[in-house]
Homo-oligomer: A and B are copies of this chain.
Amino acid sequence: MAAGLPEPEPLRALIDALRGLPGVGVRTARRMAYHLLQHDPQGALRLGDALRDAVGGLRHCERCNSFSQTPVCATCENPERDASVLCVVETPADQNMIEASHGYQGLYYVLMGRLAPLEGVGPDQVRFAPLRERVRDGRVREVILATNFTAEGETTAYYLAEMLRECGVKVTRLARGVPSGSELEYVDAGTIAWALMERRPN
């Protein structure tokens, strides 16, 4: 942004703080600041309170590593869930999507990240140690790797498979294939190749 007029200090500080949000550059931050100050000061105050409450009130669940208000989250405490299966996901959003499929009754471990060697995120930056301990507790029989099917997610899955095989549990990966409801004409070639390789008797 070219120099222009000096901005009042609180406005400059707000634009600067908004730029800390992922995917927000200086123009977007400026637009957000103007919008909040001009049209939604109540929303701005509510966001301020929500940020403070969330940072102060949330911790990581001791068992699944997801965000929780209590030491152990409601999902991990639920006696109706199958403690012998553990699904490893990258983020709470992924956990939500799996839960929304209504196809899973086991427990979760949320990595809160993934290996990304190109960004300098190695095994030391992602909390793998609690997962290994969890898997060694004797109750877990199968670990389902549900990291994303991106380069980083696949790298993470590969690393975890190596690490967990030593623990003597069954390690599986979500199936790759043609998405439900899709027409082959519009599915990318890589997906078709995987679906062919992993074809199954019908």
Contact = CB atoms under 8 A, between A and B. Distances in A.
Interface of A: 1-11, 13-14, 16-18, 20-23, 27-28, 30-38, 40-41, 43-58, 67-69, 73-75, 91-93, 95-97, 99-100, 112-113
A108 to B, nearest CB: 9
Given A4-B95, A22-B32, A45 B37 contact: no
**Oligomer copy total:** 2
A21 to B, nearest CB: 5
A70 B50 CA distance: 29
8 contacts: A2-B97, A11-B58, A14-B53, A18-B47, A18-B50, A22-B35, A23-B28, A48-B51
Nearest to A8: B69
Contacts of A112: 34, 38
Contacts of A28: 23
Provide the main secondary structure of the chain A interface.
helix
B47 A35 contact: no
A14 B50 contact: yes
Given A20-B40, A21-B36, A35-B21, A50 B13 contact: yes
B36 A44 contact: no
Contacts of A55: 36-37, 41, 44-45, 48
